[in-house]
Each structure stands twice: as structure tokens, then as C-alpha cells.
Structure 1
């Protein structure tokens, strides 16, 4: 795996027409840290995460900056295509958004490894596939490699998506609501997989219990802005901003 990356977002604003989805947001994910971006639907957290990935949407107007370990990144999709997968891994909410339904899981992993030159030829890439799927928690990696996405359960597809995100050993992992459709046991296992990768992690979620399980720090978003941030235990036990307090109190796993 690459060394954990530092992510610096400075003054980031994303507008879609008259709608300001992200409003002058600044945040840092330190190397090896898990930062959870917490907020209700429509708060702007997913837009922020996708903009870090260079995927703000075709109509978006973006200002501000994103830097990876001191290097300012371009904010366009084409310019970031080489960085996504190699230095930044992405786990979407719906694994089907990451997986090609017409190709076997193993073939998709081979393609990612070859595209980013993470394997010395196709044969080496094929040999690497079972290990990647095993590391992502699939109990029968050989069968999973031969399977099409529709032949796997939802939890298995999410693990396959994680294997794709981690295949090239990125130093930063961006995960956008990766456990929404999973049951409690699978959800916990998937969260643990993300944090065991050794990468820096930006995790987008509305789930207080998920934040409490894996976060080092939490940043709460509301109406496109970060209204409060701090160490996980302090923020989830004694939030100070009224909106953060209401968000935390409204969910199981809130203040103790």
C-alpha cells in the first residue's frame, strides 16, 4: 500500500445553478486518520466527497482547492482519472455503481491493476485477484472472481467494490455511505475493512453508530457548511452547535 495521504480541502464551494451545495468548506484528513463527515440527506456531504474525487457533476461550478499530500489537484473528472484508483480509492453507496454488470469480478480487478500499472502484466494481475478479494472479506475469493455482480449478495458486492477501491493500494479512501443497504453485522464488517486498510479515510455517512465505531474525528455538515468538528468522543457525547446536537440526539448511538 502507498503511504497514507493527507487531504486538504480549502474554501471549497460547489454550486449547481442557484443552489450552493457546498459553501466555503475547509477540512483536513491527516495521514492515517479516519474523518467522518456526518449530516442528514441534502447537507452537501456527498457533493463534497465527489468533488474531492473530481466528480462534482457536469453543471457544477467549483471554486476553492483540494490538495493531496501538498499537491493541488485539478477538479475535473478527466484530469483526476489517473489519480482515482491509484492514489485515491472510492467506495460508493451503491456497489453497482462501481461494478460493471456485464463483466466478471476478477476481470474488473485485472483491468484496474493493469490500468494503474499495479501489476507486472496480465498474468501477475490475475494471480493477485484472489488475494485482493480475500483481503476484502470474501470467504470464497476464487468463486467471487468468476462471478458476475448479480450472482453475489449485496454484502458481497460491497466487498468486491472495496477490493476494487483498494486494489492499487491508495493512500486515501473516500467512502460515500458505503453501508446504507447492509444489515447490522455486514455493516460492521465492511466498516472494519475500510479502517483496516491503513489508508487515510474520508467516510460520508448519516449513521451515528458508524461514526462512533470508526472515526478519529467527526465533522458535521448542515446546509453546505461544516457547523462543528472535533474528536469523535467529544463531539458525539457533548456536541456544542445546536444542529449538531439535534442530529446526534435524534439517532440511536447518540449522546451517552
Structure 2
């Protein structure tokens, strides 16, 4: 069922092509990519480095790169983001689309404490009525991201936190405005196995508790297995196979997908 009669998908990408200028002529980074993420659902975009998966994530955010030529459509709750200007997109980023980068320093200001950074986001997107209300909301936002001592973390600078806590703080920033879609680009690469599992559990919790749709980019088959749901496998700017995680990772139909699974330690196909 769709919400209020709207589309069933939070995100619908159709025939997306991105071309960058190059010294020897245009370079096609994406070639006819189509994908869907349902409301409250998850899609894992799986592929090796250079496959185009990060370009998909950045284009969804309206950041395909300087000079990029983009065709196709990227619809968020039915609105084609490719038709919007930068001013409109800047209102959507953070408010309706949350972004979690591979390195949390990409979203955390190293010179400011965590709490004031959250307050700024809440005020910029007019989520809180004023600074006092925004400050009062900070501990709950950090606790929602699985942080046990939210008041202490709010007073901390990013460099005073472990890698896992920095990533949780970045996730708190990404979901602070209640977005319908969360884009996570290799969010667990720099984390150890235990923290990685905790962060993936957090994503699942945010989906189930708040109905957030998740587009998760990864090269790691272990992460894809852990997330479950649906997987889209990318190669050379194209999606070559899409399906349920169990099917794609146990009985891949495309030869390249089978090679990826076979290359995994303990891989079967």
C-alpha cells in the first residue's frame, strides 16, 4: 500500500545515465541504471570499486559531479529530483534524504562539538521551533542512534570519539530531520566486525521503528548478507542483477555476480 495514495516507492530511479567530461572525450559513469527502494525497505547496491555504485548514491543526492551530464529520472516520493535547481535540492538534502558517508568526518565538523552540530541542522531545516527546543532534542537523537551517554557525547568533539561513536553521531545527524530515505555509502568500511554489526543493526532498527527507506552502498558481501532484503549488483556503470539477497548471494544468475560470490572466503558458486 502507498502512503496517502502516493507512490509505493520512496525512491525510484529510471534509466539513469551519467556522463563526465574527460581528456579524450565523454566518460560514461552510469549507463541506464534503474532501481527501486520501497518505503521502509532496503536495497543494497553491491559492486567492486569503480562499478558506479557511489555515483548512483551521489546522483540521488543531487551531487553527480562538476560538468556531469545526467539523463533519466530520480524520483523521491514521486518528485523528479533531476528537474530541481540547487536551492530546492539543498532543502531536500538533510531534510528528506539523509546521508551517511564512509568516513564520518565527511559530515562532522572537527572543530565543533557534536551537540551544536545537531542543533544547527535542526534549525536550518526548521525542525525545532527555536534553539532551546533544538538543544533539548539532541540527547534523544543521539540515543536513537544507539549512543549510551548522549549528554557526554553531545559535549564531545569528533576527535574525542571512537570510530564507531563518530559513525553513530553521523547517523544521528543524517536522521535528525526525519528523512524518508537514508543513503549510506560504505558506512562500515572503517569499522571492526563487532561495531560493523552494531551499525547494521541500527540501520535495521531505524527502518522498522521510523519507516526510513535505506539505500546502502557496499563492496562487502558480508555486509550484504547481514542486511538481507534486496540486492542490486553493479558492474561498469550498469546493474546486472537484482533480487532477494538469499537468491542473489546463493544462486546468482549472472556470471559476474557468481564470480563475486565465489571470490568471497567460503563463497559457494
1:155 is matched with which residue?
A: 164
Counterpart position of 2:10: 6
SS class of match (1:82): helix
- After superposition, residues 91-170 of structure 1 pair within 5 angstroms as 91-170=100-179
- In 2, the alpha carbon distance for the partners of 1:42 and 1:95 equals 21
Report the equivalent of 2:231: 218
For 1:242 and 1:100, the matched residues in 2 are separated by: 43
Quote the Cα distance in structure 2 between the aligned partners of 1:122 and 1:255. 55
What is the match of residue 32 of structure 2? 24
For 1:110-130, what per-residue CA distance to the aligned partner results, in whole angstroms no more than 9, with x for missing partners? Answer: 011111111121101001101
Aligned ranges 1:57-68 → 2 under 5 Å: 57-68=65-76
Q: CA deviation at 1:5?
A: 5.8
Ranges in structure 1 where 5+ consecutive residues have no aligned partner:
none
Cα 1:214/1:164, change in 2 over 3 Å:
same
Q: Is contact 2:9-2:36 (8 Å) kept? A: no
- Distance in 2, matches of 1:252 and 1:54, equals 36
Q: How far apart, in 1, do the equivalents of 2:92 and 2:245 lie?
A: 29
What is the aligned partner in structure 1 of residue 253 from structure 2? 240
Matched-pair contact (CA < 8 Å) for 1:209–1:252? no
- Report if aligned partners of 1:154, 1:182 keep a CA contact under 8 Å in 2: yes
**How far did 1:252 drift?**
3.5
Counterpart-to-counterpart distance in 1, 2:233 and 2:242: 6
Counterpart-to-counterpart distance in 2, 1:224 and 1:214: 23
Structure 2 gaps of 5+ residues are: none
TM-score where L is the length of structure 2 = 0.91
8 Å CA contact 2:122, 2:177 repeated in 1: yes
TM normalised by structure 1 equals 0.95
Residue 209 of structure 1 is matched in structure 2 by 222
Query: Does the aligned pair in 2 maintain the 1:38–1:218 contact within 8 Å?
Result: yes
CA distance in 2, matches of 1:72, 1:57: 18
Alignment pair present for 1:80 and 2:89: yes
Measured against aligned partners, the alpha-carbon deviations of 1:83-142 in whole angstroms (never above 9, x if no partner) come to: 111111100011000011111110000011111111121101001101111111222111
Hey, what's the Cα distance between the residues in 2 that align with 1:208 and 1:122?
43
Give SS of 1:6's match.
Answer: strand
Contact 1:104 1:149 in 2 (8 A): yes
What is the CA distance between 1:253 and its match in structure 2?
A: 6.5
- Is the 2:242–2:248 Cα contact (8 Å) retained in structure 1? yes
